Structure 1
Amino acid sequence: DVIKKICGNLLAGKNFTLPGLLFIDTPGHHAFTTLRKRGGSIADIAVLIVDVNEGFKPQTYESLTILKQYKTPFVIAANKIDAISGWKKVDGIYTQRLAEQHSAARSLLEEKIYEVIGTLYDQGLKADIYTNIKDFSKNVAIVPISAKTGEGIPELLMILVGLAQRFLEESLTVERGPGKGTVLEVKEETGLGTTVDAIIYNGVVRSTDKIALGTRDKPIVTNIKALLKPKPLDEIRDPRERFDSVEEVHAACGIKIAATNLDDVVSGSPLRVVTDENLEEVLKEIKEQTELSIELDEEGIIIKADTIGSLEAITKEARERGIKVRKAEVGHVAKRDVVESSASTDPLHRAIIAFNVRILPEADEELKSTDVKVFREDVIYTLMEDYEEWIKKKKEEIERARREEFVHPGMIRFLPEYVFRVSHPAIIGVRVLAGRIKAGTKLIKEDGKVVGTIKSIQSEKKSLEEAMQGQEVAISVEGATVGRQIKGGDVLYTDIPEGDAKKLKEMDVLTLDEKDVLNKIIEIKRKTDRFWGM
């Protein structure tokens, strides 16, 4: 009756057997990763809301990915048409309202809708305004709406009713047997203790029933103390009396359940009414559904999430990005997670991805004495982007540190006007033409002969560890005599060991000028060993 009242003439003369629609409004990915039913989403159909003015956001793409993953049929609600410049509220269906708009407002909305269509096309989906669609099984319907003015809401309901009636009728059967549901959230309620918020999608749950639920370890069976439904807002006088106690509930509905031993129940786990006859079967089913279908690696990062579905979604995303995962668990970040992560031999694996969970105080304290990085977010896309950005910077940091282990390519010119000592050691002025020079590095001439070893580097009476391209410095060279091994104007090169040359080529960390110098040194070396550096 409510649907008919809202839709008005849109459903006039049409009969439908759908008993009703249960809407679950949950943020971002949660609607689908938390609500699992035999490996898929509990949602029979979904409404993906897009701000028509701003287009797709990271969480929109995330929800879209999950909808596709679970093969959940959905409709796009292009919201906030009232915010289109020049838009005026007009009664009637979309085509009538559009015709009454100023041409500029009409063009702007159509442009925004085309952008949504284009984005969906890029994601491999065909979409169009619902009025243009003939086959709803092959196209995603877009319904322009305004949650503020109510425009488009009747059409959105009409589309949902039609799709449910047409494509879901066979699967939408009403059962009177023991209730089946999914845990949405586990939370503490004043005066009630630990409770679970659940969606009952099949059967009946009574206040006298026993229920089985999934925990981190194994399924538990507990007695229901109370079935609670929120009171209408206008009836709530005291925050402690926000709920009405009911004797039984029928699918499909949302319900809060108060019971004993709920502390370790996992969000996203199955909830089943148990009897003496089905107990063994139910416990087996819950155990199977709460076991993670995640393949782990011997080495990798640690992932912690708030629900089973979230955990699987994040791990799947990590896999697709080539990220190795050694541990994936539901729950907050604990001290043991930090200790495990810090023990990783690969510094790139000393990271914990924490989705919608807290860092416990002991873990926070442990983090202060380790190099473990924790990424906390409630949007999977952002988590992955942040982690990959950290990986990029960490690799650069590691490469810079590794570079210091090798002799680097450097090319210098002996400035003839700067001879401070002829020998023991020779002290001369040089200009670094390319690359870098460091104390302790041997120097060679263009014929490949070693002329000596740089003992020290100075500039303006200050000692330097190294000198870079463009600098003019004084160097002391042990083993060289000016006028014999070296002469003014000579171009000298750093004598790079063959192993260092190979590593530097593999690492790809040199600048273009450094690469040119390295190639020149390789050319010099191959005058006496044609396979040098290969």
Structure 2
Amino acid sequence: MKQKRIPIIVILGHVDHGKTSLLDWIRKTRLVEKEYGGITQKINAFSTGSFTFIDTPGHELFTSLRKRGAQVADLGILVVAADDGVMPQTKESLEFLKEFKIPYVVAINKIDRPLAQPEKVKKQLSELGVVFEEWGGDVPCYLISARTGQGIDQMLEGLYLLSDLYNFSYDDEAPFFGYVLESYKDIKIGNEVLIVLKDGVLKTGQEIFSYSSYGKVKKIINTDGKELKELIPSIPAIIFGFEELPFAGEVISQNKVDILQERFFKNLVLGQGKKEIKFLIKAADYGKIEAIIGALEKIASEKEIKLKIIDASVGELVKKDVDFIKTYHPNLILFDVKIPNFLKTEIFPEPIKIIQGRSIYEINDGIYKEILQEETQEKKIGILKILKVFSQKRSKVTVGGQVEEGSFRLNDRVVIKDENNKIVAGGVIVSIEKDKISCDSVDQGLCGMVIEGSNLDKVNEGYTLHKI
């Protein structure tokens, strides 16, 4: 039987144009203050009872998340800052709205700013083919302020009218059908999958299929944290029960899904070049993986180098990842993911670079600084001859020695080699002493060091310590 459903509305626009602030005003929350770095880096979804809103990141590297949000939406809001005008991701967002044939409204935000120029913004949009209602077209335009609330009620009224015009519905007797918005892995809880349905009703205990995974629904929790027995279309919710994490953007259904998702994160090669730089990627969700791959694609093209992604997956590092690291020695990128303490002693001795960050800016900067600078600059050397082992156990050693080349600093990662130049141990410098005084670095003469890592009980006098 046909039932009315609330519209799914995607919020699109350039970074910092106020998309999340607009939703904060509508929902009376302060989500923008909780976002690390002040920018959205994942898909957020919530229902007000009258609408479901999907907030998407505006940063250039989150293209796939914006497209995914547009793919599932019924209506759209294109947000443009009145003092900044049309920007690259404004144009991209407009293309997505056109590609998926989504009716939309334009919200010219920050109208309270002294440098606001709404008429200029309208002209810029008209040059991209947007014809506003006031000019005889079919695109409503609202001047708003997500800070003061100006114009937002009028915009919501306009969305009500647009929704009534299209009369969105679903069949409660049909097999359920929808999309994966995002996937997460929690070591304690298990696989969490954020979904939204477009038809049918999903109940706990039912089988659920995507192209890449399968499961039986154990629990359904809406975005307000309330547990549900069944899920109707348009209401975003997290479900538990998938045996493996489905890819974000995949179709989910009551029946087996034959729609192939073009996502091959393993042994993915980007760019061309004589020297190959390898990467292993771990991130909190698939959207962040896609952003990293976007950053690497851009770098490979700009620098004309070959980048190979050995593997990319969601969640904390596991033993399989350590095996990859020990076999291939890829550079490790961790986006909003930490290294578990019990794996640090296995990873730190490996001759790899580790790039960690909670924002795409930190990850992007880390790739340039840690990886690409090494390609264009002479590698900084540090070699110390171990003359005395004062105390040692498997995870910690205190040594005295002579700096033979280069320099060492606190937190430098090092390996220890025997007389045959074979690596026997490794770790991180946690303490340095020079002339019995603690210091942050040493570049000549005799010194003492404390190193924490793995296999340090194998260190002997006469071995050499090398910075990596």
TM-score between the two structures when normalised by the length of structure 1: 0.46
The answer to whether structure 1 residue 332 and structure 2 residue 315 are counterparts is yes
The offset of 1:202, in angstroms, is: 2.5
| Fraction of identical pairs, as percent | 22
**Secondary structure, in 3 states, of the residue corresponding to 2:377?**
helix
Distance (Å, rounded) in 1 between the aligned partners of 2:328 and 2:154: 55
3-state SS of 2:116 partner: helix
Matched, 1:318 2:323: no
CA contact (8 A) 1:267 1:306 kept: no
Cα pair 2:267 2:311 within 8 Å, conserved: no
Question: Which of the residues 373, 381, 388 maps onto 2:353?
Answer: 373
Match of 2:261 in 1: 289
> Does 1:81 pair with 2:111?
yes
One-letter code aligned to 2:261: Q
The residue identity in structure 2 corresponding to 1:319 is E
**What is the one-letter code of the residue matched to 1:201?**
K
User: Which has a greater percent of helix?
Assistant: 1
Aligned partner of 1:24 among 54, 78, 85: 54
**Which structure has more strand as a fraction of its residues?**
2
CA contact (8 A) 2:356 2:366 kept: no
Q: Which residue of 1 aligns with 2:215?
A: 221
Please say if residues 189 and 195 of structure 1, whose CA atoms lie closer than 8 Å, have aligned partners that are also in contact.
no
Q: Tell me the alpha carbon deviations over residues 444-479 of structure 1, each in whole angstroms, 9 at most, x when there is no partner.
A: xxxxxxxxxxxxxxxxxxxxxxxxxxxxxxxxxxxx
Is 2:374 aligned against 1:394?
A: yes
CA deviation string 1:39-93 (max 9, x = no partner): 973234433545555779xxx86686576468455655333434x35xxxxxxxx
One-letter identity of the residue aligned with 1:243: K
CA distance in 1, matches of 2:244, 2:315: 12
In the alignment, the residues of structure 1 paired with residue 233 and residue 296 of structure 2 have an alpha-carbon distance, to the nearest angstrom, of 35
CA distance in 2, matches of 1:149, 1:355: 34
Contact 2:334 2:356 in 1 (8 A): yes
Whether contact under 8 Å (1:77, 1:142) holds in the other structure is yes
CA contact (8 A) 1:80 1:148 kept: yes
How far does the alpha carbon of each residue in 1:164-212 deviate from its partner, in whole angstroms, 9 at most, with x for none? Answer: 788xx59x6634411122333447699x876544211222223453223
2:56–2:66 contact (8 Å) kept in structure 1: no
Q: Aligned pair in 2 of structure 1 residues 330, 291: CA closer, same or farther (>3 Å)? A: same
Q: Determine the C-alpha separation between the residues in 1 that align with 2:359 and 2:95.
A: 18
Tell me which amino acid in the other structure corresponds to 1:24: I
Query: CA separation in 2, counterparts of 1:304 and 1:365?
Result: 18
Aligned equivalent of 1:359: 339
Distance change >3 Å, CA 63–CA 362, structure 1 → 2: farther
Q: Structure 1 pair 149/165, CA: closer, same or farther in 2 (3 Å)?
A: same
CA-CA distance at 1:378 after TM superposition: 5.0
Which residue is equivalent to 1:255?
237
Name stretches of at least 5 consecutive residues in structure 2 with no aligned partner.
8-48, 271-275, 302-306, 382-468
Distance change in 2, residues 1:306/1:41 (3 Å): farther
Deviation of residue 388 (structure 1)?
A: 2.8
The amino acid across from 2:277 in the alignment is: G
Matched with 2:116 is 109
Q: Specify the alignment match of 2:207 in structure 1.
A: 210
CA contact (8 A) 1:24 1:31 kept: no
Contact persistence 1:266–1:330 (CA under 8 A):
no
Please say if residues 117 and 126 of structure 1, whose CA atoms lie closer than 8 Å, have aligned partners that are also in contact.
no
CA deviation string 1:346-398 (max 9, x = no partner) = xxxx5333334343435544443244233334554653344234445323323
With normalisation by structure 2, the TM-score equals 0.51
Question: Alpha-carbon deviation of 1:253?
Answer: 1.5
How far does residue 326 in structure 1 lie from its aligned partner after superposition?
A: 2.7
Change (3 A) 1:396 1:193: closer
Q: Deviations over 1:394-428 (max 9, x none)?
A: 23323899xxxxxxxxxxxxxxxxxxxxxxxxxxx
* Contact persistence 1:292–1:308 (CA under 8 A): no
Q: SS of 2:364's equivalent?
A: helix
Displacement after TM superposition at 1:263 (Å) = 6.6
Match of 2:146 in 1: 147
Separation in structure 1 between the aligned mates of residue 297 and residue 142 of structure 2, nearest angstrom: 35
The 3 A distance-change label for structure 1 pair 149 and 357 is same
Distance 1:194 1:332 in 2: 10
